[in-house]
Amino acid sequence: MNIAVIGRGNIGSTLGAKWAAAGHDVTFGVRSPDNPGTTSIATAVEDADVVVLALPGAAAGDLVNSLGEKLGGKVVIDATNDVTGSGKLHALEELADGAHPVRAFNTLGWENFADPVVGGVRADLLFGAEDGHAREVAERLISDVGLVPVWVGGVDTFDLIDNLTRLWFSLALRRGLGRRLAFKVLLEE
C-alpha cells in the first residue's frame, strides 16, 4: 500500500517505520520538506492510497480543508487529538465527498505503537470506520503495527473512540499511570 503520513513527530515517525518494515511504501508529507525522506504534503498525498493525519490536532481541520478533493477515493486515517479545543477531537467531518474516514491510532500513546506488548499482553486498538474497504485497510494497518484491531463501528462511533482517548489521557497523565497504559477487550471464547 502507498501510505502518506502527514507529520513526522512521534506518532507519524513510529507508525511510518512500522509500516515500512511491514512492506508498505511510506512517504512523509511535511510543511517544510528539508529533511531526507520527506516531501511536501500535496506531493505525499498525490499517489497515496492511504493518508494518515499525524500532526497536531488543532491543525488537522485546516489541512483537511486545504487538501479538499485530493482526498477523494483515499482512506483517511485521523490519528490526531485536538485536546486543547472544545468538542470534537477529530477533523474527519471536514472530509470531501468520496474520502473514506477512519478514526484510529488516537487512543494510545506513541510508545504503545513502538512496542504494542504491555505487561506481556498484546494491546488492542479500538477504531471506527465504515464496514468494507476502509475497515479492511484499517485492520491491516493496525495489525501491521502489532496491535489487535477491534472495530467499534462506522462513522457514528467516532465520538465513542474520542471518549476512549479522553479516558486514556485521564488515566495515563492526570492519574499518573504512565504512557505505557493500553486497553484490552476480553471476550468469552
DSSP the chain: -EEEEE--SHHHHHHHHHHHHTT-EEEEEESS--STTEEEHHHHHHT-SEEEE-S-HHHHHHHHHHHGGGGTTSEEEE----TTSSS-S--GGGPPTT-EEEE-S-SS-HHHHH--EETTEEPEEEEEE-TTHHHHHHHHHHHHHTPEEEEEESGGGHHHHHHHHHHHHIIIIIS---TT--B------
φ and ψ at residue 147, rounded to 5 degrees: -95, 160
| Full-model pTM | 0.94
Q: What is the pLDDT of residue 34?
A: 82
Q: What is the pLDDT of residue 60?
A: 85
Q: Are 105 and 76 in contact (CB under 8 A)?
A: no
The Cα 85–Cα 34 span in angstroms is 30
Q: What is the pLDDT of residue 93?
A: 75
Q: What is the pLDDT of residue 85?
A: 61
In order along its 189 residues, the chain shows pLDDT tens digits of 999 999 999 999 999 999 999 999 999 999 888 888 899 999 999 999 999 999 988 888 889 999 999 999 999 999 998 776 656 667 777 777 899 999 999 999 999 999 999 999 999 999 999 999 999 999 999 999 999 999 999 999 999 999 999 999 999 999 999 999 999 999 998
Q: What is the pLDDT of residue 86?
A: 57
